Amino acid sequence: MTGLPIMSVGKSGQNRENLRQHNLSLVLRLLHQMGTVARSQLTSITGLNRSTISDLVAELAARGLVIESEAMQVGGVGRPSLSVATATNVVAFAVNPEIDATTIAAVTLDGQIIDRIRYPTHTQPEPQKAAQIANQLITSMRKQLPVGTRIAGVGAAVPGQVRVNDGVVRFAPHLNWVEAPFGPMLSQLTGLPVSVDNDASLATLAERTYGSAKGARHVVSLFAGSGGIGGGVIVDGLPLRGSTGYAGELGHMQISNSSEVDFSGLPGTLEALVRRDDLLEVFKLYSATDEELDFEILNATDKGPVKVIQSQIDALGRGIGVLATIFNPQMVVLSGFLSSLFQFDSDRLLDVVRKSTLQSAHDSLLVRTGDLGTKAVLVGAAELAFNNLLENPAAAPLFPANN
């Protein structure tokens, strides 16, 4: 019972530096999420003293991360409080390689996309090629950013399973990538820190920070696109990652005895039962944008399509029920064509959910559609890139846009 240190608490003692870092991080995170906040609000939200907030904001301003402006609030008694906002010249790059295109965006510290390029490719790019494309796009975008812009880093959202620690894409079936060190490659090329994660997990993060799950502490999200069904989970305010970073692959959970297999070869999973291709087929389409598919679903009346839609709604409902039972979240967020399914017959979906969910967990459950659409992945990827800065505002490096 003695001897070996059994726990892995890893230097979690708190000293003065941690204290300051924690508070700086807290203030910057609040501004990051809320955009503009009065200093007096910061004191009441954090519980810190007026003078402490003054000091913290001054330090953040000195580092060029926030800007103090004249009071904007009107109506209250007493001296008007100064407004604090995130600096507009701090950005992160978001990278999203997909089967038919690679997209790049520049996102500001308050979550606004200020620039965006979509670079179509004929075939699915090799990892090395995708990294080169991304680097070129970033390089050219970097030149066009306003002088004085500073870059926090790069976040990549990949449709596949990602080892978050080292930025290696373990398996991305739609890109045909296996054990691809995309993060290190792109970091090498750009000279910027690169973080990589699963696209659906990042979209979830974006919905939590700016979208329909804003501020929620317990969220399950399902995200469907041409690349199957992805998922993301927020537990107590933080993304669920699991021991090696693969947690949240909600599309691949088996919910039925069906022998239909998904893109990873598992039978009876949510992804095997709720398939974009099956919808396209019944609508006699070879390909369609998300908007076109949405239109077809919402206007479906023929028996064939309706039957397929209903069967997918039923499977989706069961999946949601399982997740709600396991996680007891405040809400479930649906994106991509899943929100079309929801809107087609929300009563049916909610009914299936109710029948598949443990009563207690169902009581306060909300099912919603995502707010951010295709922005979610990019904003989420930028979130990932901003994380270092938000975690340690005093020490995280910033890079010049043009040198």
Partner DNA sequence: TTGTATTTGTTGTTCCAAACAACAATAACA
Partner DNA sequence: TGTTATTGTTGTTTGGAACAACAAATACAA
- For binding to DNA (CB under 7 A), which residues are involved? 13-17, 19-20, 23, 38-40, 43, 47-56, 71, 74-82
Report how far residue 211's alpha carbon sits from residue 221's, in angstroms, rounded to the nearest whole number: 12
Whether 227 contacts 159, CB under 8 Å: yes
Judged by CB, which is closer to its own copies: 35, or 100?
A: 35
CA 402 to chain centre: 28
Specify the amino acid at residue 29: R
**By CB under 8 A, how many residues form the interface with its own copies?**
83
Positions in 138-197 near its own copies (CB under 8 A): 161, 170-171
Pick the closer one to DNA by CB: 67 or 216: 67
At closest approach, how far in Å is the CB of 380 from its own copies?
Answer: 17
Give the span between the Cα atoms of 216 and 238, in whole angstroms: 10
Smallest gap from Cβ 177 to its own copies, in A, equals 13
Nearer to DNA, 26 or 350 (CB): 26
Look up residue 67 and give its amino acid: I
359 binding partner (options DNA, its own copies, none; Cβ < 5 to 8 Å by kind): its own copies
Provide the 10 A C-beta neighbour count for residue 194.
24
- What is the spatial distance between Cα 69 and Cα 72, in angstroms, rounded to a whole number? 8
Q: Which of residues 326-345 bind its own copies (CB under 8 A)?
A: 326-330
Which of its own copies, DNA, none has residue 360 at its interface (CB below 5 to 8 Å by kind)?
its own copies
> Whole-number minimum distance, CB 357 to its own copies, in Å?
8
Contact 205, 239 (CB under 8 A): yes
Shortest Cβ 103–its own copies spacing (Å):
24
Torsional sign, CA 291, 210, 84, 82: positive
Mask for 30-69, x = binds its own copies (CB under 8 A):
x--xxxxxx--x--xxxxx---x-----------------
Segment interacting with its own copies (CB under 8 A) among 93-101, 137-145, 214-222, 378-386: 214-222
Which CB, 52 or 343, lies closer to its own copies?
Answer: 52
Chain position carrying tokens 């066009």: 144
The nearest distance, CB 298 to its own copies, in angstroms, is: 28
Partner whose binding site includes residue 171, from DNA, its own copies, none (CB under 5 to 8 Å by kind):
its own copies
Phi, psi of 358 (to 5 degrees): -60, 130
In whole angstroms, give the CA distance from residue 179 to residue 267.
Answer: 24
Indicate which of DNA, its own copies, none lies near residue 261 (CB less than 5 to 8 Å, by partner kind).
Answer: none
Q: Exactly one of 58, 285, 298, 358 binds its own copies (CB under 8 A); which one?
A: 358
77 binds its own copies (CB under 8 A): no
Residue nearer to DNA on the CB measure, 80 or 173: 80
Separation of alpha carbons 364 and 400, rounded Å: 47
State the nearest-atom distance from the C-beta of 46 to DNA, in Å. 8
**Alpha carbons 159 and 106: distance in angstroms, whole number:** 20
Residue 84 token pair:
């604090």
- Which one of 26-34, 59-67, 290-298, 387-395 is the stretch in contact with its own copies (CB under 8 A)? 26-34
Q: How far is it, in rounded angstroms, from Cα 203 to Cα 182?
A: 19
Residue 8: which of DNA, its own copies, none does it interact with, CB under 5 to 8 A by kind? Answer: its own copies
Between residues 132 and 392, which has the closer beta carbon with respect to its own copies? 392
Position among 69, 140, 217, 292 found at the interface with its own copies (CB under 8 A): 217
Least distance between its own copies and beta carbon 254 (Å): 5
Kind of pairing between the strands at 331-336 and 219-225: parallel
d(CA 52, CA 54): 5
Non-local CB neighbours of 308 within 8 Å, separated by 6+ positions: 278, 279, 282
Helices and strands in the chain, H and E counts: 14, 17
